[in-house]
């Protein structure tokens, strides 16, 4: 009971921070000035550092799960959460260009030539005239997230193969609360009309996945296994 209450408090606090951040951005965008809004969502600004912080926290939660599953010798569960830990750690590092601007590190020749911001990260690479950020981190990720948030729970309840796969690898599922929050965040961000809105989308992604990893929909089943 105490754990559930704590997680509920976490969900309320973190969701509140997310929506306050988005509403501040909307207020600056429409009622102050574009310059103020761009200052809010700029590189090395509060939104970017919040994104980094929650991506890193997500990775740490995944490592905590890995440690739990090592103790009970669940090999496939360990594999799933170890992959998630690496992915979110990499995303956190890439978000701040691996501290390049913080420590004033010069980019290598490859990144100077192929990165549209001349920074040491993958999400701003341009290869063969194609933006990696647009192709992978926008279009492909959008499609994956739509399937994950809108259809994963439905497929688990309706399809035995999917349910067995999810259970076998212990893939975390979003709760209805997470789905509603993600949908509401996306709708609010759409009102900004695509002016540096990717920074706010990334923040939503980082904070909501932190909540999912902390308290997935299939946590209760996990406790009974």
Kindly give the interhelix angle for 75-95 and 46-71, rounded to the nearest 10 degrees: 160
Structure-block tokens of residue 99: 């501290």
Q: Is residue 175 part of a domain?
A: yes
* Exposed/middle/buried for residue 3 (C-beta within 10 Å: 0-12, 13-18, 19+): exposed
Give the pTM: 0.88
Domain of 188? Answer: 2-105+140-224
Q: Is residue 59 part of a domain?
A: yes
Q: Is residue 119 part of a domain?
A: no
Q: Is residue 7 part of a domain?
A: yes
Predicted pLDDT at 1:
39
Structure-block tokens of residue 59: 């990775």
- pLDDT tens, 52-75? 999 999 999 999 999 999 999 999
- pLDDT tens, 208-222? 999 999 999 987 655
CB atoms under 10 Å from CB of 168, counted, come to: 12
Total domain count, the chain: 1
Q: Is residue 195 part of a domain?
A: yes
Q: Is residue 16 part of a domain?
A: yes
CA distances from 112 to 36, 100, 126, 134 (A): 29, 13, 11, 19
**Residue 200 pLDDT greater than 70, yes or no:** yes
> Would you place residue 131 in the very low, low, confident or very high pLDDT band (cuts 50, 70, 90)?
low
- pLDDT tens, 62-118? 999 999 999 999 999 999 999 999 999 999 998 888 888 777 777 778 777 777 777
């Amino acid at each position: 009971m105490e754990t559930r209450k704590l997680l509920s408090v976490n969900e309320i606090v973190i969701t509140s921070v997310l929506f306050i951040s988005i509403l501040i951005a909307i207020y600056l965008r429409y009622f102050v000035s574009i310059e103020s809004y761009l200052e809010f969502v700029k590189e090395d600004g509060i939104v970017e550092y919040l994104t980094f912080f929650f991506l890193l926290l997500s990775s740490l939660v995944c490592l905590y799960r890995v440690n739990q599953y090592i103790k009970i010798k669940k090999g496939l569960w360990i594999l799933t959460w170890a992959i998630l830990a690496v992915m979110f750690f990499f995303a956190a590092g890439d978000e701040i260009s691996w501290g390049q601007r913080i420590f004033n590190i010069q980019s290598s020749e490859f990144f100077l030539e192929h990165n549209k911001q001349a920074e040491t990260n993958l999400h701003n690479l341009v290869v063969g005239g194609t933006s990696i950020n647009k192709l992978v981190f926008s279009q492909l990720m959008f499609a994956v997230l739509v399937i994950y948030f809108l259809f994963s729970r439905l497929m688990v309840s309706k399809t035995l193969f999917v349910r067995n796969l999810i259970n076998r690898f212990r893939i975390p599922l979003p709760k209805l609360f997470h789905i509603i929050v993600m949908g509401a965040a996306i709708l609010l961000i759409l009102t900004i009309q695509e002016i540096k809105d990717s920074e706010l989308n990334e923040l939503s992604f980082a904070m909501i996945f932190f909540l999912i990893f902390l308290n997935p929909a299939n946590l209760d089943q996990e406790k009974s296994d």
